[in-house]
Every structure is written in C-alpha cells, then in structure tokens.
Amino acid sequence: MSISLVTGGTGYIGLYVVKELLEHGHIVHTTVRSLRNQHKCKPLLDLQAAHPGKLRLFEADLLVQGSFKEAMHNCDTVYHIASPFILPQQTKNGMKEIVEPALKGTQNVLDEVNETQSVRRVVLTSSLVSMYCDSSEVYALPEHTLTESVWNTTASPTYNPYAYSKAESERLAWRVTSAQSQPRWDLVAICPGLVLGPPLSSGSDSGSLRMLEHMYEGSDRYGIPNYSYSIVDVRDLAVAHVAAGEKTEANGRYIVSHAKSTSMLAMAELVRPFHKQARLLPARAMPKLLVYLAAPFLNMSKRWADGNLGIDFDLENRRSKEELCVVYRPLEETFRDHYASYLARQDVH
C-alpha cells in the first residue's frame, strides 16, 4: 500500500493534494505546525473522519532539522508543498522572511528523504517564477512562450525575493537529487502559475486569494494595474501533483497553468456577471504613469512596472496535459467557484 507524505497539509494547495490522494486510495501522512491549532487542523480532521485509518497528522517545523523523521517513516512518495506565498508588497526583508526559510525548509525535507530508505520519489511544488522574473523576459522568448527549459536568472533577494526563493529552492532540490551516489529517489517539479479557486479551509491565508478578494471588495475600483498572471485552478493543480507522484514515467519540470496569461482587468470581467456589487470591480486599467507615481507606496519599483505592465505571454503546458492528464477547467468556473466560496465565508464571519 502506497504511503505518501504531504508537507504543509493545512495549506491552500496541501489540503487539496491530501484530499486527492485519499480519493485515489493512498495512505497519507501530513504535517502541520501545531496539532493544537484546532481551527487550522479542522479540514484535515474532517478528511480523517471521511477516510478512517487513511490519514495521519504529525507536527513538524520546516526550519527544524530532523522534524520530518517520524512523518516520513515508511513513505514512498514525498510531496513537498509547504512554502509561503507572500506578495512582494508585503515583504520588508526578502532574505530573512522568504529566501532563507524556503531554502532551509527544502534542505531539511530533502535531508530526511536521503535518510529514509523507503522514499522513491519527491514531488516538489515549485512555481512558474522559478522560470522567469518579469513578464518581459517571457515576451522576449521565441513565440513569446514560456517553456520548461527556462530558468529565472534575474530575481534576487532584493528584487522579487519570492521568485528568487522558488528558483533557488528548486535548484537546490535538483542538486541534492543529482548528488546521490547511488540514485534511490527521483524528483519531479510542479511549476504552477497563480493558484486560484475555492479553498477547502476558511482559514486559508494564501496571498493569491487575498489579492483577488481585495478586488472583490473594491480596493481596485478606480483602476487596476495592467498586469497579467498565468492561472491554474487549485483543483487542477492537485490532480497534477498526484499524477506526478503516481506515474512512474513522470519526470523533470512541468508547467501547470493555462496556456495564456490573463490580465487583472480580464479577471474582473470574469467575475462581473455574478458579483453582487459589480460597481466595486475595476472597469479600467490604471495608466502606467499613475502606477509609477503610486509605486513607492505599493512597495513596487519602476523596474517592475517596465518589466511587467501591459505584457501578455503564452505558456507551453502540453506536457502537463499529455503526461499528467491535467484537463484545465475554464477560468469562468474557477472564478465563479472562488467567488461563491468567498461569499460563504463572509456569511460565516
């Protein structure tokens, strides 16, 4: 019987991966920072009740060496998902807040993988930003299209530290994989775009969800930056993760995202038909000059604006569709379901 470990089981992505694994019949171990946090653990406890004897919860801290030993015991597949998504404007010290924890966490998990003889595969949740930093870099590629062979070489601890942390964490994972003197386990990297869709937990603190909900609530009603994201539904992302662990032929890096980027204004238009107060949604893109003027107050730079505003691009997601059997649901469904879950959470609070 396959036993899988999911790090960060209470997280936005981790919860869905745990759920998908259980529905596929796996025994699942997952880690949480504190078993005493009943609010955070409740969705996992609900899954535990729905799948008796199939889900075990363990306390573990990414930053504590040896913390994953008990949780990883007898596991054959490790899904390393735990890593915060923090919007750049929320960061004061990129190296301390994002980069160092991400690298140390990845190293600690992989050190334990090297010590655990049962592990045969690690599925790493990386990111598209491990491939690029600014949209202009993708636009400069052949056919303005991002492929899995591209690596982010321009992010730094001071310029987009989140992207830098994802790129360096993935590089570290590949180095550790190739350093095995007698290869026992292999690595598959899942590189999603902006992850959206209905969370399984009312306590989800994903930065991507907060960004969208600020738009729902009218923060951008007078105009929104003309910035485009590549998007994936969290439910499709969970399918990709589980397939990457189950399919022995899965290998390398996978772009997991819709094939075209979507502007923030286009996101607003997707929500408009069912938003209860559509007047709160932005109806126009913010002029670039205004973004320049506002940038210091938003913790953004002219470099970022020049490299990202008004730039759309494509993504080569063929491998995820053909090898991981991901069927990307329409964006309309993602936004409709997320907005419905947002309203439900508002009613609860």
Question: Three-state SS for 35?
Answer: coil
pLDDT, averaged across the chain: 94
Q: Which two tokens stand for residue 176?
A: 């550790």
Lowest mean pLDDT among 28-37, 125-134, 223-232, 287-296: 287-296
User: Do the bridges between strand 194-196 and strand 231-233 make them parallel or antiparallel, or are there none, so unpaired?
Assistant: parallel
CATH number at residue 142: 3.40.50.720
Question: Three-state SS for 146?
Answer: strand
pLDDT in tens, 6-41: 999 999 999 999 999 999 999 999 999 999 998 899
Could you tell me where the beta strands, DSSP code E, fall in 201-323? 228-229, 231-233, 252-256, 262-263, 314-315
Cβ partners under 8 Å of residue 204, min gap 6:
11, 12
Name 57's bridge partners: 30
| Closest to 11 in 3D by CA, of 211, 170, 205, 233 | 205
DSSP 49-68: HHSTTTEEEEE--TTSTTTT
Question: Three-state SS for 15?
Answer: helix
- Per-residue DSSP letter, 218: T
Domain count, the chain: 1
Whole-number CA gyration radius for the chain: 20
pLDDT in tens, 171-220: 999 999 999 999 999 999 999 999 999 999 876 667 778 889 999 999 99
Q: Give dist(CA 72, CA 127) in Å, integer.
A: 24
Cβ partners under 8 Å of residue 37, min gap 6:
none
Contact (CB, 8 A) for 15 and 43: yes
Q: Range of 289's domain?
A: 3-347
pLDDT in tens, 99-123: 999 999 999 999 999 999 999 999 9
Q: Give dist(CA 309, CA 263) in Å, integer.
A: 9
Q: Is residue 89's pLDDT more than 70?
A: no
